[in-house]
Amino acid sequence: MSAPSQADAAAALLAVNRRRRRIRRWVAIATLPVTLAALLLVAKLLSMYAFAHTSISTFVSGAYAESESAARGQDIANWFEPFAAPYNIGTALGGADELGASRAELERALPLAQGLQVCPVLINLSLVVERQGDAAQADGDAARAAELYGEALEITVETPEECRSEAAQQQSPQPNRDMSDTLDENQRRQQEKQRQGQQPPPEQQQQPDQGEQGETPQDKLDDIEDRLNQGAQEREDQLGGGQGDDGSGGGTDKPW
pTM strictly above 0.75: no
Share of the chain above pLDDT 90, in %: 39
Q: Which residues of 185-211 are buried (b: 16+ CB within 10 A; e: fewer)?
A: bbbbbbbebbeebbeeeeeeeeeeeee
- 96-137 confidence digits (pLDDT tens): 999 999 999 999 999 999 999 999 999 999 999 999 999 999
- 73-83 confidence digits (pLDDT tens): 877 766 778 89
Q: Which residues contact 187 (CB under 8 A, 6 or more apart)?
A: 153, 156, 157, 228
User: Across residues 197-221, what is the average pLDDT?
Assistant: 55
Identify which has the larger pLDDT, 112 or 52. 112
Whether the predicted pLDDT of 237 surpasses 70: no
Computed over every residue of the chain, the mean pLDDT equals 78
Whether the predicted pLDDT of 189 surpasses 90: yes
Chain centre to alpha carbon of residue 118: 6
Q: d(Cα 121, Cα 109) in Å, to the nearest integer?
A: 7
Whether the predicted pLDDT of 93 surpasses 60: yes
Residue 248's pLDDT band (cuts 50, 70, 90): very low
Residue 255's pLDDT band (cuts 50, 70, 90): low
Whether the predicted pLDDT of 201 surpasses 90: no
Whether the predicted pLDDT of 147 surpasses 90: yes
Residue 212's pLDDT band (cuts 50, 70, 90): very low
- Of 9-13, 20-24, 186-190, 248-252, which gets the smallest average pLDDT? 248-252
Residue 158 DSSP code? T
Q: d(Cα 125, Cα 123) in Å, to the nearest integer?
A: 5
CB atoms within 10 A of CB 44: 15
Q: d(Cα 29, Cα 120) in Å, to the nearest integer?
A: 46
Q: d(Cα 184, Cα 192) in Å, to the nearest integer?
A: 12
